[in-house]
Structures are given as structure tokens and as C-alpha cells.
Structure 1
Amino acid sequence: MNTRRVLLFVGAGVASLSALPAWAKRRHAPEAGATPSGDEGGPGASTAVVSSPAETPIGPVDTVATHAIVIDFNTGAVLLTKDPDTPSPPSSLTKLMTIYITFQQLKEGKLRLGQTFLISEHAWHMGGSRMFVQVGTNVTIEDLIRGIFVDSGNDAAVALAEGIGGTEDNFATMMNAAAAKLGMTHSHFLNASGWPADGHFMSVRDIATLSEHIIRDFPEYYHYAGEQSFAYNKINQMNRNPLVTAGLGDGLKTGHTEEGGYSLAGTTERNYRRVIVVLNGLPSWDSRVTESKRLMDWAFNSFQDVQLFAAGAQVTQAPVWLGEAPMVGLTVPQPAVVTMPMGWQNTVKVAVDYPAPIPAPITAGQVIGQINVTGPGIPSGQAATGAQLVAMTDVRRLGLPGRALARLRHFITGA
């Protein structure tokens, strides 16, 4: 048995993306303050910093961020990286893990949005950006979630940590366990807020992974990330995420510490396509605004999501060995979508690989081979570049006389 490669087409021949899974088509409501661990300051004079190149599939792109990653949410394609796996102080981006665990417990029914947590003196005493909770009061989980997303409240993060874990130290253990399950290999948590601590770190790739899970796993709660403002204790605060306040994004979080600089995990959706940008080590508030918008626009303008095949459509036919049918149709169980650079039509090759002939019996849905997409500028990391091909129908094995005749025919003709 040999592996057969069938070149389906080069360049032209694929329509632009027209259909995506339901989760990819979901729309969310559009979204509209330097402390040791808060967000975090405000606009001011930009620091003069020389840009250096980040790597992309289509050539280097300069950015002043020390660490950066841009991914396509629909396919997982990595569009840009700059030192993405080096651990660094994550400041308030830490709170994304606090949010993830909170959302997970809500989804599992262990918590309710209207449930309240008692505010401890430790939570009330937190400095930096705050929601301004009062010690000894009871605050709903829903308000604490808003206090994190909109206000970047260190007090809100500690209140959730203590309410869920009993102590913030116990909650940090939960954070590290969740990170391990998500494959976040360059992160370690010591607290729920991102308050500076030796040994507390995240990489921007891990932050992107966590951001993706928050969006994908908890669509019923994700809308909190895009709220323009939140009023609590008679204090109204605007969302600190510049993409949200400008109406250019629907999440996720910003941060700032003296050691780590300014940071952002931002995301938005345009025409059913979502992009996630994570930046850390930015020199100023202004650069966080300009770089996040510039790289978001670059990602949308430089790449596009293309549907190669619709779910259930026949991609090709493969020969069958010793089967009651000589051929079997091959399909994809989910839409085969791949992120490609603009102008891909002139350079991309799409081929299918499968063992030939395929020995019977064959069961409908059985994995037979895969689709491979090659060409300059194809981003790495996306599942669609190796989309599985499955059999469309069952093919039973021939009976003994039929198998004998087939073997004889193969011996004589080679067919």
C-alpha cells in the first residue's frame, strides 16, 4: 500500500469563506485608568522607543512591544510573533485566569451570577486600580466580574479568589492547575490580580491561549468583556481597554506595571472573522493604543479566512482494495477553513494525502487521509492545513470468492 497525493488545485478554484461553524458566526455586543498592579495610568507623552521586527508568514513587521502574538481565532493560525514564549510580568492580564475559573464554575453550576461574596479587609485594602468595594459588604459575582473587566479592579479579583478558593493562595493553586490543563507551559501564578511578585509570570502565547478559551468556552458570559462602563458605589468608570472604548473591539483586558510595562489582550470580530492580539512590554499608554489598533488592522488587511470545502462535500474519491465498491468518496466532517495571505490565489497548492488503495472494510466517518495546503505565506498552527478526510459511506469487504478473483486479477493486470 502506498501513500497517494492528489493535487486538487493550484491557486484559483476556491471561493472565499461563506460558511463557518455556529460558534464562529456568533456576534457579540460592540464595546465602547500607573499603579504597581493596576491598569494602570492614562494617556501621556509617548516614550521614544525604536521598533524592532516581529516575525510573520509574509515578512517582518516592526512593533515597539517587547513580546507580541497575533492569532486568527477561527483557525488558530499564528499571524505574528515576537518573543512569544518568554515569561514576563503579566500585570492585570493575570485577571483573565481569575475570570476563566469564575466562568468555569458558573458554567458547571457551582456558582450563580447573583450569588454574593463577603469583602475581606485584604480585598478592600488592595491598591492600584479598584472597583471600590467596601469591607464587610456583600457583592454579587456578576458585579465583581464587571469590576474586573471594566475597572481592572484588584479588589474585585481578590474578592473572587477568596470567595471561590477560600484564600488567595488556594485560588493561585487552582489557577496553576487550570493553566496546566490548558497547555499554558510558560505561566505561573502567585495571586489573582497580577500584583508584582517574584515567580509570577505569563508568556504572550499563553495569554492568547487563555483568551481563546474564554471566548470559545463561555459565550454566555463573554459579553461582560465588552461593556463600555460600570458604575459601583456611586463611582462610574470607563472600560480601560482602548479598543473597547473606541468601539474597535469587544475585549479583553489591559495591564501595566513598572517592571513589565504596558500590556493588552485585545480582540474583535469583522465579517465573521475574529483576531486576537496580545502585546506586553509596551513603553507607554499611547503606544498601547496605537500598536493594538495598528496590528489588529494589519491582521485583517493582510490575511483572510478561506473555506476550501464545505462539511459533507465530496473532496475526492479513493480506490478500495477487496471491497464491494471499487471507490469510496472522501469528505470533511467540518468546514475546512484555512487562513491565507491576501493574493493566495496565485501561489497556494491544495492536495489530499491518503493510503491507496484503501483496504476494505471501510466505515462511514473513518479517517482516511488529510488535506494539505502549501505555499508562501501560509501561517502555521492552524488545524485546517491538516484537515482530516473521512469516508462518506460504508464499503463492505468482498466474500472469499470475490477476494480470490480480485487477487488473481491484480496478479495478472496489476490493477
Structure 2
Amino acid sequence: MANTPVQQRQTRWSFGRHIARALSGIALAGVVAGAAQAAPDRTASLIMDYSTGATLYSQNADEPRHPASLTKMMTLYMTFEALQQGRLSMDQKLLVSQFASEQDPTKLGLRPGATIPVRDAVLGLVTKSANDAAVTLAENLAGSEPAFARQMTQRARRLGMNATLFINASGLPNDAQITTARDMAVLGRALIRDFPDFYQLFSTRAFTYQGRVHPNHNRLMNVYDGMDGIKTGFIRASGFNLVASAKRDGRRLVGAVFGGTSPGQRDQLMAKLLDAGFAGTLTAAAPDYAPKRTQVAIAEDTKPAITPVSTRVPARPVGGATITPVSATLGRAAAPVIAAPPPAATAKPVAAKPAPLPAPTKARGTWAVQVGAFSTNANAHKAAETAAASARHALSGGSVSVAEGKDGKGAKVFRARIAGLTEKEARDACQALTRQKSACVAVPAS
């Protein structure tokens, strides 16, 4: 059956749109010319003291990396700002466009022309890391995803994230979309500081949407004492990324880990770094010196804030309906420009190596494997027994135990553990459990 004239126009529009997107990607890739691509060694990490912003430990923290779904932290920052300013409400319905519905997974499966409450879109990002929900928020806030990405980058500059360039709202692969471990730790800290009430949403363990339960991708939060957020990320070019925050004895740390080889390896590194940070055994490292580091600059309106230059964002037609931006004014900005820094006049200093992690000092039998935190002692004991049975060989030297404590919000929790292990036994056992898709972290038991 032949297509109708309307269907033919829609087909041509869709084809033209994909061609335009492809050409845009080629142009951006030509601009960065490989300099902004993640290095072959994708690892990078940083631990920051939340109260002071001081760096406690860093490794490759200023090297360009792909953020993957850590991008959604900025999408949420912009959303929380709109909620705080009254430009959005949690119950407000957002219109889903054809473009948003066509995003690659992970996604909620939103249909074009449908609506989704802001609350569900936010929780979809926090737990499922839903790309269709991210684009829906972007389009409803700024009229289009590219316009929203420009706002994201401008906001990043104002937060002090000077090496970050956002191209989309989801973190889906784009060679030009780059950041650093330091910038993402700064963003994590800003989310906690600027939106303490909304930040609590990052501790959501699971989210139910249209009858389907979506567990939070941040499984480390379920087993690490005091952790209450915030976001994971993965694309092939980045490896497994995580920005996390935990609070113990009134002190909060923020950490960023990039380039993990697996979720389990990434989580183990984050846990080890945070443990050392809380123990006070991390030696402050000088900011990483990277003479070949790419500097990312985006032109911004240089006029005072009291006299902004506004550009009206046109409403975008979607399937017969129209998405009207919640905020229809943008600071005038030129296209993103990536330029290498000018050569230094003085001799290049020798790159400072990050301080090594402290050697284990615990005696045999003082470590444990923690496999979850629960609201009841019975559930914790059952989880510990299940873990002990599933990794019987690796945990043969341990015994099931439950440690009572409090989470980051002060609520009582019961932590399921197999105790009486050496540090090596605990870490080896966690690796075995991780291979079985079980959440796990090695912890000092005393």
C-alpha cells in the first residue's frame, strides 16, 4: 500500500533528521580531532572532602574521559533548579516527542505523544538511567536537546567544571562529550549542596513505572555503610563509571571512579578509596599535571547578569502537539570550541604521581564480606546465609553475622555480613559473589 503524502513527508523528515545528526557528529568529531577522546587507559579517580572541597586523592583526575550516564547528573541538576525556582512541579506532565521515544536503551519505553509526570521522569533517570526520560526533560525545559546541552555546559562553567562539554542530555555515545573525574566530583558535591532535599531521591532503591520495577543501578549503595547516592554510567568508550557519596560520623566524602573493567571492579575500587578516606590514610595528592590535557571552552555572554542577552527558543512541533520550553530564554552562546592551551613559557614540571593507597594493616580474621543492608535483622541474616551458601568455597573460613548500624539518614539498618576473614579472603570472596551478579563489598569488621 502506497504511503500517503503525510507519511511521505514524515519519512523524508525522519531521514533528513538522521542525516543531519550524522553530519553534525562528523563535524564535532573533526573539531576535537581525537584530542578529547578518552585515553587508552580509561581509569581515573578522585576522592573529595564534601565540606571543604579539598582533594584527598586523585589519579588521572584531569584527563579527558567520556561521562556516559554520569551526564544525567547535570540533567537532574538543571531539573532540580527548575523545580526549586517554580518553573516545574513534580506533578507536571511532560510531553514525549518522537525523538525522545527513539533513544537507545536503557529506557522506560515512553511513547510519542504520551505524557510523563516530572517525578517519574526524575526517578527514571535516578534508577533506570532512562535515556528517553532524559531527552523528554531536556526538550520540555529548553525546547530541544541541543539547546539544553548548551545550557548544561554553561551551567558546568558556573560550577567550576572547566573541562566538561555536554552534547546531549543522556550520555549516549558522542566523541565530543567529555569531562574529567574532578569535574564530576565537583558536580556531585554541587547536587548535594544546592539541592539537599532533591538529593535524597538518589537513595531510591527501586522505582515502579507502569507496573514494572526498575532497581537502582548503583548497587554499591546497598552494601556500603553510609552511602546514599549518586550515579553510575557506562558506554564502551568510557568503561564503568561511578560518582558516589557517603557519610560517616558526620563527615561526608564524594568520590569519582572512571574506566572500571566491570561494575564489581569499579565498586571495589570506590569502596577501597572511600574506606581509606574515612580512615584518614589517604595522602593528599597534588592536582594531576597533564601537559597535553585538552582545555574545553564555550563562549558565554559576557554582559553582566542584570542585562542578559536573550534568545527566544522556538517551540518544537511534535506529532501535532507543541512542546513549549519552560524557560524560553538562553544566554547567547557561540558554538562550542575546543582549543589546546598555549605552550608554557617555563619548563614542564615532572608529572606528580598520585599517592599509593595504604597497605592493609588488619590482622587475620578482622575483615568481613557485606552483602546488603536491611530494615530487619531477620532479612539481613537470611541474605548473609544465602551469600555464604552461594560462595561456600570462598567463604569457608567465615561465619554469618549481622551488624546493626545507621544509614546516611540516621535510620537503623541491619548489615548482612560473613565475618572472620582476612582482607584477601574478603576481597576474593567478593569477586566470586560479583561474578554471580551479587552485590558485595569487603569491609573491616572491627
TM score, norm. by length of structure 2: 0.53
- One of 237, 241, 246 as aligned partner of 1:263: 241
Q: In structure 1, list runs of 5 or more residues that go unmatched.
A: 1-63, 305-341, 343-415
Alignment correspondent of 1:150: 127
Alignment correspondent of 1:208: 185
Alignment correspondent of 1:109: 86
The answer to whether the 8 A contact 2:42-2:239 is kept is no
- One of 111, 114, 119 as aligned partner of 1:137: 114
Alignment correspondent of 1:272: 250
The answer to whether the 8 A contact 1:239-1:245 is kept is no
- Structure-2 separation of matches of 1:132 and 1:254: 20
- One of 286, 290, 309 as aligned partner of 2:264: 286
- Structure-2 separation of matches of 1:157 and 1:216: 22
Alignment correspondent of 1:173: 150
- Structure-2 separation of matches of 1:246 and 1:288: 14
1:365-380 matched pairs, under 5 angstroms: none
- Structure-2 separation of matches of 1:242 and 1:201: 25
The answer to whether the 8 A contact 1:132-1:232 is kept is no
* 3-state secondary structure, aligned to 1:262: strand
RMSD over aligned Cα atoms: 1.9
Alignment correspondent of 1:385: none
Q: How far does residue 133 in structure 1 lie from its aligned partner after superposition? A: 2.4
* 3-state secondary structure, aligned to 1:250: strand
Alignment correspondent of 2:211: 234
Letter in 2 for 1:285: P
Alignment correspondent of 1:164: 141
Q: How far does residue 270 in structure 1 lie from its aligned partner after superposition? A: 0.9
Query: Aligned pair 1:123/2:100, yes or no?
Result: yes
Letter in 2 for 1:280: F
* Cα distance per residue 1:15-56 (max 9 Å; x no partner): xxxxxxxxxxxxxxxxxxxxxxxxxxxxxxxxxxxxxxxxxx
Letter in 2 for 1:94: T
* 3-state secondary structure, aligned to 1:253: strand
Count of aligned residue pairs for this structure pair: 243
Q: How far does residue 289 in structure 1 lie from its aligned partner after superposition? A: 2.0
Q: How far does residue 242 in structure 1 lie from its aligned partner after superposition? A: 2.0
* Cα distance per residue 1:87-126 (max 9 Å; x no partner): 1111000111101111111111111111110111211121
Query: Aligned pair 1:72/2:26, yes or no?
Result: no
**Cα separation, partners in 2 of 1:244 and 1:65, compared to 1, 3 Å:** farther
Runs of 4+ in 1 over 4 A off after TM superposition: none
* Cα distance per residue 1:316-363 (max 9 Å; x no partner): xxxxxxxxxxxxxxxxxxxxxxxxxx9xxxxxxxxxxxxxxxxxxxxx
* 3-state secondary structure, aligned to 1:220: helix
* 3-state secondary structure, aligned to 2:234: strand
When structure 1 is superposed on structure 2, of 84-93 and 287-296 the one drifting more is: 287-296
* 3-state secondary structure, aligned to 1:150: helix
Alignment correspondent of 2:65: 88
Q: How far does residue 141 in structure 1 lie from its aligned partner after superposition? A: 0.9
Letter in 2 for 1:270: R
**Cα separation, partners in 2 of 1:65 and 1:198, compared to 1, 3 Å:** closer
Q: How far does residue 243 in structure 1 lie from its aligned partner after superposition? A: 2.2
**Cα separation, partners in 2 of 1:257 and 1:121, compared to 1, 3 Å:** same
Q: How far does residue 246 in structure 1 lie from its aligned partner after superposition? A: 2.5
- Structure-2 separation of matches of 1:235 and 1:132: 11
Q: How far does residue 250 in structure 1 lie from its aligned partner after superposition? A: 0.8
Q: How far does residue 216 in structure 1 lie from its aligned partner after superposition? A: 0.4
1:326-337 matched pairs, under 5 angstroms: none
Alignment correspondent of 2:163: 186
Q: In structure 2, list runs of 5 or more residues that go unmatched.
A: 1-40, 283-357, 359-446
TM score, norm. by length of structure 1: 0.56
- Structure-2 separation of matches of 1:65 and 1:288: 12
Q: How far does residue 258 in structure 1 lie from its aligned partner after superposition? A: 0.7
Q: How far does residue 136 in structure 1 lie from its aligned partner after superposition? A: 1.9
- Structure-2 separation of matches of 1:164 and 1:240: 25
The answer to whether the 8 A contact 1:150-1:229 is kept is yes
The answer to whether the 8 A contact 2:206-2:213 is kept is yes
* Cα distance per residue 1:152-180 (max 9 Å; x no partner): 11111111101101110110111011011
Letter in 2 for 1:271: D
Alignment correspondent of 1:254: 232
Q: How far does residue 303 in structure 1 lie from its aligned partner after superposition? A: 5.5
Alignment correspondent of 2:201: 224
- Structure-2 separation of matches of 1:267 and 1:144: 22
Which one has the bigger strand percentage?
1
- Structure-1 separation of matches of 2:132 and 2:270: 27
- Structure-2 separation of matches of 1:77 and 1:250: 20
* Cα distance per residue 1:54-110 (max 9 Å; x no partner): xxxxxxxxxx97110000101222111001111111100011110111111111111
Which one has the bigger helix percentage?
2
Q: How far does residue 185 in structure 1 lie from its aligned partner after superposition? A: 0.7
1:44-63 matched pairs, under 5 angstroms: none
> How many percent identity over aligned positions?
35
- Structure-2 separation of matches of 1:237 and 1:65: 29
- Structure-2 separation of matches of 1:215 and 1:173: 23
